[in-house]
Amino acid sequence: MFKSINTNLNKLYRISGYIAATFLIFVAVFILIGISSRIFGFYIRGLAEYSGYCMASASFFALAFTFVEGGHIRITLFLEKLSGLKKKIVEIWCLTIASFFSGYLAFYFMKMLIISYKFQERSEGADEILIWIPQTSVAIGSLIFSISVFHQFILKIKQK
């Protein structure tokens, strides 16, 4: 059962990485449309905001995939000096702290999303989009990241 959960979570992280890449493509498209619109003399409201929303979405969806692949800055310089049980204890301690803070981050992003939806907040930009729409991807991305950190914590504990 644990192997199935592990496989499905790794698929989730990979899908999250693909979603992040898609949002990066949207950033590039919005920037190119903005440049083209200035060249041809017309204005499209909110392109700068949309590219910012897509950048935030890409960043948060990429967190889990990058963490699992080992792309985040870690304490490897310190861990290289340790071995055996000491290294495992330090890694578990670090993953415990990271699990707590990533869970805290995900909780408050979800809370922020719910409040924005409840009060129907709008952005202050030219587009006045309902702010919960871009916040949804940030909240989901942070939740997936929190799951990935806790997943790595469980894997480290199970490691012999």
pLDDT digits (tens, 9 = 90+) for 78-108: 777 778 888 888 889 989 999 999 999 999 9
The answer to whether the beta carbons of residues 59 and 1 sit under 8 Å apart is: no
- Identify residue 100 by its one-letter amino acid code: F
| CA pair distance 57, 67, nearest whole angstrom | 16
The answer to whether the beta carbons of residues 143 and 72 sit under 8 Å apart is: no
- Per cent of the chain over pLDDT 70 is 97
pLDDT of residue 141: 96
| CA pair distance 50, 128, nearest whole angstrom | 11
Confidence of residue 123 (pLDDT cuts 50, 70, 90): confident
Task: Write out pLDDT tens, residues 22-60.
Answer: 999 999 999 999 889 888 888 887 888 899 999 999 999
Beta strands in 30-148 (DSSP E): none
The answer to whether the beta carbons of residues 157 and 77 sit under 8 Å apart is: no
Residues present in the chain in total:
160
| pTM of the predicted protein model | 0.87
Confidence of residue 132 (pLDDT cuts 50, 70, 90): very high
Q: What angle do CA 92, 94, 96 make, to 5 degrees?
A: 65
pLDDT of residue 118: 95
Query: What are the residue ranges spanned by the domains of the chain?
Result: 2-158
pLDDT of residue 32: 92
The answer to whether the beta carbons of residues 148 and 20 sit under 8 Å apart is: no
